[in-house]
Amino acid sequence: MNLERVADSLSMSTATVQKLVRENAFPKPRLLSPNRVGWVTAEVLEWVAQRPHSNLLPPPNTGAPKRRLPQPAQA
């Protein structure tokens, strides 16, 4: 998986994934070609499975669409 896909699948920012990699707290990407890296899906899933369980519930607005501002009236 590329960086964007890893971050998206974990609901993290790409900056957070990169920070965790630098801190050796996340699997390192693999060299796929001279200019391309990616993560092994199984390694990412294993990392997720090792995360501690949480007693916190997600906030009630998780996944809710954002409110739209009223559109100005057209003449």
Domain that holds residue 21: 3-50
* Residue 46 belongs to a domain: yes
pLDDT tens digits for range 20-71? 999 999 999 999 999 999 999 999 999 999 999 888 877 776 565 666 777 7
* Residue 10 belongs to a domain: yes
pTM above 0.85, yes or no: no
* Residue 36 belongs to a domain: yes
* Residue 68 belongs to a domain: no
Spell out the residues 6+ positions from residue 57 whose beta carbon is closer than 8 angstroms to its own: none
Hey, which bits of 5-45 come out as E strands? 30-33, 36-38
* Residue 66 belongs to a domain: no
* Residue 70 belongs to a domain: no
* Residue 67 belongs to a domain: no
Domains of the chain: total:
1
Spell out the residues 6+ positions from residue 21 whose beta carbon is closer than 8 angstroms to its own: 27, 28, 29
